[in-house]
Structure 1
C-alpha cells in the first residue's frame, strides 16, 4: 500500500496515477501519516458522488480528533469551520452566508469584477513577459472577496500571504502559524467593525451575531476566516488551470479567442478538465460503510479525489480531452450535496470576466516556458500553479 501523492510525477500531472488507481479499484486504502494509520481514497465518479452525499460520512473534525494527540496547534477558527460541521449546525451556518453568493448578488458585482480585471491587465507589459498567476489569477479574487468582507486595502497582502501558507503541504508549523495570524486578524477586524460598522458581508454576519444571536463569537470568527480563504483560493487555482488548459489546446483557445461569448459555456468543461480542488475536505465514517465494493470500517478518514472523479471515463467519455462542447455540468469541481461550494457563482463570474478580457486584450498570448517546467503548488487539497509565465 503506497501513497500516490508522494510520486514525484503527481504534482505535475496526477491524472495518470489516478487512472491507474481507479482501474484497479475506485476506493482503496492509502497511508495516512505515521503509526500505520490509513485513509480511503475515492477516485471513481459514481463512488465520489455517493460519498459526498452520504450522511454516514461526517465532516465533524472536532468529534473525530477529540482525545487524539495530533501535535498540532491549528487555530480553532480554521480547524472547525462550517466545512467541518454536519447538520443541523452546518445548515444554520450555510444559510447565513448563502445570500451573499446568489446569482443575483453576483450579478451586482460583475461591474466591480470587470473594473478590477481591467486595472490588473493595465499593468501587464505590452509584448513582454508576465506571470498570469501573480498578475491576475491570485489578486483578482483576493480583491473581490476582501471588498465583499470589508478588508482594508492595506491589509490585503498579509491576508493573501497567510491564506497561501494555510495550504503549505508538509509544513505543519507554517500552516499552524498562519491559522493564528488569520484568526487573530479577523478577530481584530470584527472588533473594529463593531466600532465603525459598514455595509459588507462581514458587517451583516456581525449583526446576525449581535442582533439576532444566530452565531456564537467563535462561529463568527470562523465564518469570516472561511469566507476570506475559500473566497479566493478556489478561483485563483481555477483561473490558472483554465488558462493553461487553453494554452495547451490551441484549437479551443483559437475558438474562444474568435468568439469570447462562448467562454461562459466552456467554464464547466474547464472545471472538469483540471479541477482547482484536487481532494475534498476531510470526512470520516461514523459506521461501517461499503463504497465501490470496498468495506470501510467506522472511524476511517475518507478522501474524495474530485480531480480523479472528473476524469472517470465511466462518466465522461474521453475524459483526458478538453471538449468545450461536452455537457460537463455534472462535474464535481465544486463538490456535491450539502457541502457544495457556496461561492461557485462568484468563482464562475470572475473566471468568465477574466478569461474573456485576457482573450480580447492579448490575442497573441502564449506560454513563456515549456509546460513541463511549470511549477505547481505543493499541496494535496488544491491543484494550482505557483506561477504561469506568459508572453503577450
Structure 2
C-alpha cells in the first residue's frame, strides 16, 4: 500500500513489541510524557494485580490531577462499591437478556439504512449506531434529546482522554447535565431515573455523582462496543473459514465475540493504578506511590495462557481472557457488550450473505484513542438487498 501522511499517523501493530516485553521484562519501568510508569504485560501478573489490594485506583490521594471517570473507575471501596451498587441491577445477565429484542431491533434498523446501497463503512454505518442506540435507550434518552452519532463519539473520546480536552469535557458534562435535568422532569423505567431515586434516598450523596455515573455509562457504553463489533466483523471477513460461526449456535457466536475481544484488545490497558505499599513481583520492586498500568492486550496474547495466541481461532473451549478486566473493576457493561456483539454479527451476516471487504484486510488502518484501539474504517461491498 502506498505510504501517505494519513497512513503514517495510524497506530502501528503493538503486538510484536508486547511479545518482546513479555519475554524479556514482563514488568517494565517505562518513562512516558506523563511520568514514569510500570507496564505489566504477562497474563499471570496482570490478573494477579487486577485483584491486588495494594494497588489503588484513586489517583487523587496520590496528588495527581487525573480526570474523574464517574467516580467508579478512579475510586476504591467503599466509595466504589456504593456507586456501583446503584446501577448493577441494570446490567446483570438476566437484565441484559431482557434487552435482546431491543438490541436486535437496533441492529436490523442499522442494516436497513444501507442494505439497498451495495456498500457501506462498517464502523460508521453499523458498529456506531448500535451501541449508541442501546445505551441511550437504557439510560432513557429519547431521540429528540440525543446528539448526532459521530459528534457524540468524537466528543466523549476527547473528554475521556487522560489529559481531558477542556472544551470537550465542558460540552460533554453540559450535555449530560441537560439529560439528567430532562429525566428529573420526565422520569421513566430507565437507568437515569433509578440513579435520581438513589440520590433522593441518600445512596448517592451529591448530584455530581449522578452526572459522573451517567457520563461514564454514555462514554464507555458505546466506544468499547463499537471497537468490538468492528474488529469482530473484520476478522470474520478476513477469515471466511470461521465466518459461518456467526450464523451458528449461540455458543459459537459467543466464541467469536470472545476471540475478537482477546485477539484485538478492544481496551488495550487498564486505567492508572497506584501502589499503596511496596510490591515485589516478577523480580522487581514497585515502590509505594508508583504508577502501574496493566496491558490487557499484551496479556491476552500471552502464550503461557493461550496456545497459538497470534492466531484468530474462535474456540468455545479457549481459556477466559481479561479483555473486560477482572476483579472489583471488571467492566460493568461486559454482559451487554457481549450480547450486542453476538446479535450484531448474526444480523449483519444473515442479512448480507455476500458481504466482502472492499480493501485488503492488511490495508485497514488502526487508531489508538486513549486506551481504546480500533480500526479507523472498514469499507465493504455486498449485493444490494431490497
Q: Please say whether Structure 1 and Structure 2 have the same fold, judged by a TM-score greater than 0.5.
A: yes
CA distance change for structure 1 residues 169 and 219 in 2, over 3 Å: closer, same or farther?
A: closer
Q: 2:167 aligns with which of 170, 174, 177?
A: 177
Whole-Å separation in 1 of the counterparts to 2:168 and 2:146: 14
Residue 254 (structure 2) pairs with residue 256 (structure 1) = no
Contact conserved, 1:276 with 1:384, CA < 8 A, in 2?
Answer: yes
Whole-Å separation in 1 of the counterparts to 2:114 and 2:91: 30
Whole-Å separation in 2 of the counterparts to 1:43 and 1:167: 25
Contact conserved, 1:277 with 1:306, CA < 8 A, in 2?
Answer: yes
Whole-Å separation in 2 of the counterparts to 1:338 and 1:354: 28
Q: SS where residue 87 of structure 1 aligns?
A: coil
Residue 140 (structure 2) pairs with residue 142 (structure 1) = no
Which residue is 1:45 aligned to? Answer: 43
Q: SS where residue 351 of structure 1 aligns?
A: helix
Cα root mean square deviation, aligned = 2.4
Alpha-carbon deviation of 1:192? 2.4
Whole-Å separation in 2 of the counterparts to 1:251 and 1:104: 33
Whole-Å separation in 1 of the counterparts to 2:275 and 2:79: 18
Matching of residues 253-332 of structure 1 within 5 Å: 253=243, 255-256=244-245, 259=248, 261=250, 262-325=252-315, 327-332=317-322
Alpha-carbon deviation of 1:380? 4.0
CA distance change for structure 1 residues 344 and 28 in 2, over 3 Å: closer, same or farther?
A: same
Q: Give 4+ residue runs of structure 1 displaced > 6 Å after superposition.
A: 169-174
With structure 2 as the length reference, what TM-score do the two structures score? Answer: 0.90
Gaps of 5+ in 1: 1-7
Whole-Å separation in 2 of the counterparts to 1:111 and 1:211: 32
Alpha-carbon deviation of 1:31? 1.7
Alpha-carbon deviation of 1:62? 1.8
Contact conserved, 2:305 with 2:319, CA < 8 A, in 1?
Answer: no
Matching of residues 197-236 of structure 1 within 5 Å: 197-236=187-226
Which residue is 1:152 aligned to? Answer: 142
Q: SS where residue 264 of structure 1 aligns?
A: helix
Gaps of 5+ in 2: 1-7
Q: SS where residue 28 of structure 1 aligns?
A: strand
Which residue is 1:105 aligned to? Answer: 95
Which residue is 1:345 aligned to? Answer: 335
Whole-Å separation in 2 of the counterparts to 1:106 and 1:172: 30
Alpha-carbon deviation of 1:106? 1.0
Q: 2:118 aligns with which of 114, 124, 128?
A: 128
Whole-Å separation in 2 of the counterparts to 1:376 and 1:333: 18
Whole-Å separation in 2 of the counterparts to 1:122 and 1:185: 29
Which residue is 1:60 aligned to? Answer: 58
Whole-Å separation in 1 of the counterparts to 2:170 and 2:229: 28
Which residue is 1:4 aligned to? Answer: none
Contact conserved, 1:143 with 1:156, CA < 8 A, in 2?
Answer: no
Alpha-carbon deviation of 1:216? 1.9
Q: SS where residue 293 of structure 2 aligns?
A: strand
Matching of residues 361-376 of structure 1 within 5 Å: 361-376=351-366
Q: 1:358 aligns with which of 343, 348, 360?
A: 348
Whole-Å separation in 1 of the counterparts to 2:9 and 2:77: 38
Whole-Å separation in 2 of the counterparts to 1:239 and 1:170: 20
Alpha-carbon deviation of 1:245? 1.6
Whole-Å separation in 1 of the counterparts to 2:359 and 2:228: 20
Alpha-carbon deviation of 1:386? 2.3
Contact conserved, 1:277 with 1:333, CA < 8 A, in 2?
Answer: yes
CA distance change for structure 1 residues 324 and 171 in 2, over 3 Å: closer, same or farther?
A: closer
Q: SS where residue 318 of structure 2 aligns?
A: coil
Deviation per CA, 1:312-349, whole angstroms, max 9, x where unpaired? Answer: 00010110111222533520011000100111111011
How many equivalent residue pairs? 374
CA distance change for structure 1 residues 329 and 386 in 2, over 3 Å: closer, same or farther?
A: same
Contact conserved, 2:59 with 2:74, CA < 8 A, in 1?
Answer: yes
Deviation per CA, 1:213-265, whole angstroms, max 9, x where unpaired? Answer: 43421211111111111111111111011111222222112x32563642123
Contact conserved, 1:41 with 1:304, CA < 8 A, in 2?
Answer: yes
Which residue is 1:28 aligned to? Answer: 28
Residue 3 (structure 2) pairs with residue 14 (structure 1) = no
